């Protein structure tokens, strides 16, 4: 008893029996283990059946006796074929009184099948298992698969495809196509069509056509109107596809019933591909092509002129190349300017013009203006320069803008002339305040108050003054030259103690008014025409403390009304010292000439003429050392400018009363004429 129990326990602990049997050949038999004696518990058997290619498998059960259970969950047999796992099989097809619910034959169209038998750990009754056999059966692939595009021919164990006349069997041995690839057309014109055109084209085809003509020529394609290719162009031609490729350019895909248009000229090599699917009956397409010589652009070089001028230039055409006005043809290889060059249209549609360039002419830097500035970025053709002057001491006379012309010259942008503008001295501007003062008992000037004021010293040491009326001319009194025609001139001064060499203004010549007469000793004093001009050796550089005063303009001969105030200035004698060290100035009015005539003079009374002005107040006057200095007035038309209307001429021996001044307005014509006669070019004089 003990030993029997031990044997049973040992059997329960054994692992289930599992094996796989491979069956090959056209037929065979398979049974469960120990059939028909009854199968054991814990079995797992598999049979893998394989027949030759071109056959299917028929499996027939001759006996089935397997423990029944719900859904055959305990013991069962199962078949897997054609990627299908069939339902589990159990029960018996031989016991009386029971209807067997499972099929007893199974088929596969493939060449492989697997049968699996499984039993669990216990059976309450004895079941014999199953018995079955298999046979290889022929498959009619032509009916089941339709594997051929044209004709399918079945035979035992396989099939063979064949094609209609005009087609050939492709490499896959199933698809029929036409021989439409590899053709190369080299003539300059021709026709290409889809296979069988105008009959329906072949399906399952990949056609390639190539047009290849001589380099230097271009292909022109045109589709015939009778165009019929399967597909809808609005959704991208997914069925049959026609494409055209030329160099980097691609055209298509084309389909539908509207003939496409390929615009322009293509290169000398054109590829045409036509791919069709396995169905559809469409007429196809027709392409007419021709060729033309490859054309070069009518624009060869920027800013160039070509001769002869044509609408089109073809391969091997030649033209003479020049440059537009304002540009010069430059040979890059030889690094030199040339007048023209012969260039050719090359086979690739380009000109051999890369060796040349049209460079703008160069005007060089514009001429510098004395006391001015140039303002330009470039000096080549069409560049612009704008002149300006050193303000506020100079102003521009003439047009400011000059352009670099095609003749490589800077010309006036308005007139087109070469005449340059000039920087003319600005007269009459100063920093004078409105405070009043006196020379004799006067007030000290500050730098910039009287920038035209000059100090003159004769060779005999006599002191005097003068006024700068341009950047090279000085206005003063003629009587300063009674004993010497040479004077020493200093400008830009306020404090005589701070004289410097740069303030010395060397004199070139002195010009005395031709009607002035030197005074005769012991005779009646006569200062009529007491006016003189000094030409400086060089033009002076104007600055804040050295700038000209304006001359009277038209109508300047008419004096301002009596009582009109004007400024006098100088380094002459003061009340308490012999000479002033710092420039003095005063504001004195014009008065009636009777005031000067009635003044007390030592000796004979001087001669009085309309060429004189009387001015002053008691205690306010010019004095010795101020002779030749200016008597200036604010310009009523432009209050920021000052005009010289008088020159300190003479007065009573006792200063501090009334003084007589040369009436400058009566001599403007003489001043201008004299300066023009002694200038090599136009005077820098400015009158108002």
C-alpha–C-alpha distance, residues 549 and 630, integer Å: 9
C-alpha–C-alpha distance, residues 531 and 671, integer Å: 10
User: What is the three-class DSSP state of 42?
Assistant: coil
Torsion of CA 409, 414, 418, 421, to 10 degrees: -120
Select which of 76, 265, 322, 479 is catalytic: 479
Paired tokens of 667: 């001599």
> Is 479 annotated as catalytic?
yes
For the beta carbon of residue 126, count every other beta carbon within 10 angstroms: 10
C-alpha–C-alpha distance, residues 534 and 505, integer Å: 11
434 contact partners, CB below 8 Å, separation of at least 6: none
> Is 530 annotated as catalytic?
yes
Select which of 65, 240, 471, 530 is catalytic: 530
Q: Is the dihedral of CA 331, 334, 340, 341 positive or negative?
A: negative
> Is 344 annotated as catalytic?
no
Q: Is the dihedral of CA 504, 509, 515, 520 positive or negative?
A: positive
Question: What counts of helices (H) and strands (E) characterise the chain?
Answer: 4, 50
b/e map 489-509, b = 16+ CB within 10 Å: bbbbbbeeeeeeeebebebee
DSSP 479: G
C-alpha–C-alpha distance, residues 331 and 328, integer Å: 10
Select which of 291, 405, 627, 649 is catalytic: 627
Specify the residue for token string 């018996």: 92
**What are the two backbone dihedrals, phi and then psi, of residue 668, each rounded to the nearest 5 degrees?**
-60, -45
For the beta carbon of residue 167, count every other beta carbon within 10 angstroms: 20
> HSE (CB half, 13 Å, CA atoms) of 594?
2
Beta bridge partners of 613: 661
Paired tokens of 448: 């910039």
C-alpha–C-alpha distance, residues 424 and 372, integer Å: 10
C-alpha–C-alpha distance, residues 673 and 647, integer Å: 19
Q: Which residues are catalytic?
A: 479, 530, 627
């Amino acid at each position: 008893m003990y030993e029997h129990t031990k044997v049973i326990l040992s059997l329960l602990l054994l692992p289930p029996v599992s094996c796989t049997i491979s069956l090959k050949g056209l037929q065979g038999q398979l049974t469960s283990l120990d059939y028909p004696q009854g199968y054991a518990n814990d079995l797992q058997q598999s049979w893998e059946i394989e027949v030759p290619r071109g056959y299917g498998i028929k499996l027939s059960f001759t006996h089935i006796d397997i423990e029944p259970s719900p859904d055959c969950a305990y013991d069962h047999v199962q078949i897997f074929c054609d990627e299908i796992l069939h339902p589990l099989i159990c029960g018996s097809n031989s016991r009386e009184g029971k209807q067997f619910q499972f099929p007893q034959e199974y088929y596969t169209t493939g060449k492989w099948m697997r049968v699996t038998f499984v039993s669990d750990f216990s059976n309450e009754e004895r079941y014999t298992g199953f018995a079955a056999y298999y046979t290889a059966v022929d498959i009619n692939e032509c009916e089941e698969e339709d594997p051929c595009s044209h004709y399918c021919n079945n035979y035992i164990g396989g099939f063979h495809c064949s094609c209609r006349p005009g087609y050939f069997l492709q490499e896959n041995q199933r698809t029929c196509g036409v021989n439409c690839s590899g053709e190369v057309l080299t003539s300059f014109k021709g026709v290409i069509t889809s296979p069988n055109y105008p009959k329906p084209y072949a399906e399952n085809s990949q056609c390639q056509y190539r047009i290849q003509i001589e380099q230097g020529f271009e292909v022109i394609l045109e589709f015939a109107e009778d165009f019929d290719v399967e597909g809808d162009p609005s959704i991208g031609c997914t069925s049959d596809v026609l494409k055209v490729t030329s160099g980097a350019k691609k055209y298509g895909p084309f389909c539908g019933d509207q003939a496409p248009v390929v615009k322009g000229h293509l290169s000398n090599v054109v590829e045409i591909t036509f791919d069709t699917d396995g169905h559809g009956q469409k007429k196809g397409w027709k392409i007419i092509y021709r060729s033309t010589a490859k054309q070069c652009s009518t624009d060869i070089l920027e800013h160039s002129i070509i001769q002869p001028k044509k609408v089109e230039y073809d391969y091997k055409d030649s033209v003479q190349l020049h440059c537009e006005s304002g540009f010069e043809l430059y040979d890059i290889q030889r690094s030199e300017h040339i007048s023209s060059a012969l260039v050719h249209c090359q086979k690739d549609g380009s000109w051999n013009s890369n060796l040349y360039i049209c460079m703008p002419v160069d005007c060089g830097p514009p001429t510098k203006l004395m006391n001015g500035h140039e303002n330009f970025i470039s000096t080549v053709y069409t560049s612009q320069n704008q002149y300006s002057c050193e303000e506020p001491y100079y102003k521009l006379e003439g047009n400011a803008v000059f352009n670099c012309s095609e003749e490589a010259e800077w010309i006036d942008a308005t007139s087109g002339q070469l005449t340059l503008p000039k920087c003319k001295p600005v007269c009459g501007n100063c920093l004078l305040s409105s405070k009043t003062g006196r020379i004799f008992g006067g007030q000290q000037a500050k730098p910039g108050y009287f920038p035209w004021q000059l100090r003159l010293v004769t060779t005999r040491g006599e002191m005097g003054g003068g006024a700068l009326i341009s950047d090279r001319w000085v206005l003063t009194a003629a009587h300063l030259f009674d004993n010497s025609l040479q004077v020493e001139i200093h400008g830009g001064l306020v404090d005589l103690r701070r004289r410097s060499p740069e303030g010395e203004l060397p004199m070139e010549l002195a010009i005395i008014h031709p009607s002035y007469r030197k005074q005769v000793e012991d005779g009646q004093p006569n200062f009529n025409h007491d006016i003189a001009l000094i030409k400086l050796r060089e033009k002076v550089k104007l600055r804040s403390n050295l700038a000209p005063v304006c001359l009277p303009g038209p109508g300047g001969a008419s004096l301002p009304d009596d009582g009109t105030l004007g400024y006098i200035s100088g380094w002459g004698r003061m009340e308490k010292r012999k000479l002033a060290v710092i420039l003095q100035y005063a504001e004195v009015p014009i008065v009636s000439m009777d005031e000067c005539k009635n003044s007390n003079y030592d000796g004979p009374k001087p001669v009085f003429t309309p060429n004189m002005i009387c001015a002053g107040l008691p205690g306010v006057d010019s004095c010795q050392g101020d002779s030749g200095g200016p008597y200036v007035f604010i310009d009523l038309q432009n209050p920021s400018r000052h005009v010289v209307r008088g020159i300190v001429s003479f007065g009573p021996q006792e200063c501090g009363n009334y003084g007589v001044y040369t009436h400058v307005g009566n001599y403007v014509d003489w001043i201008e004429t004299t300066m023009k006669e002694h200038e090599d070019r136009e005077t820098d004089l400015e009158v108002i």
